[in-house]
Amino acid sequence: MSDFHPIPGKLDDYARKIVNAAYQVHSTLGPGLLESVYETAMGVELAQRSIPFQRQVAVPVEYKSETIQAGLRVDIWVDRSVIIELKAVERLLALHQAQLLTYMKLTGNRLGILINFNTPRINEVIRRLVL
């Protein structure tokens, strides 16, 4: 028997809209800019699509009944249900995926999207992660 639970349709809809927004940002700006530029542009795209989101949300860590403010920040948090981690790096590393998975676990979110904008073809560097 499997413990698999499908992602709710609303989250799938958000994921499609997030990917479309990323394509729009990348086709308009191209590669080579700072991550903060892409984050701001993604905010514009999400707002134009009426998607509720927050940027640079602090994520506390619980350790032995203590809350630690460790400086962890989610790049973009869509409706407190989908985490978007943005990068502008030469190539994605396992560390980047681990970072997103950690944010997902800490927030209780099952869906995360990792996007690297520093590439000529963005379709090759969008990763959808599900817990």
Euclidean distance between CA atoms 124 and 53, whole angstroms: 25
Least confident segment among 2-6, 66-70, 119-123: 2-6
pLDDT band of residue 7 (cuts 50, 70, 90) is: confident
Q: Would strands 82-87 and 111-116 be described as parallel, antiparallel, or unpaired?
A: parallel
What is the tally of helices (H) and strands (E) in the chain?
Answer: 3, 7
Residues facing 66 on adjacent strands: 63
Whether the Cβ atoms of residue 113 and residue 18 lie closer than 8 Å to each other = yes
Q: Please indicate whether residue 27 or residue 3 has the higher confidence score (pLDDT).
A: 27
The pLDDT assigned to 32 comes to 94
Q: What is the pLDDT of residues 79-111, one digit of tens each?
A: 999 999 999 999 999 999 999 999 999 999 999
So where are the chain's domains? Answer: 9-130
In degrees, rounded to 5, the angle at the alpha carbon of residue 125 between the alpha carbons of residues 124 and 130 is: 115
d(CA 25, CA 29): 6
> Could you tell me the CA-to-CA distances from 97 to 4, 19, 28, 68, 91 in Å, in that order?
21, 17, 25, 22, 12
Task: Output the pLDDT for position 1.
Answer: 44
- pLDDT tens for residues 22-80? 999 999 999 999 999 999 999 999 999 999 999 999 998 888 998 888 888 999 999 99
pLDDT at res. 117: 96
Length of the chain in residues, anyone? Answer: 131
pTM: 0.91
pLDDT over threshold 90, residue 2 = no
* Cα–Cα nearest to 56, from 22, 84, 20: 84
d(CA 93, CA 64): 30
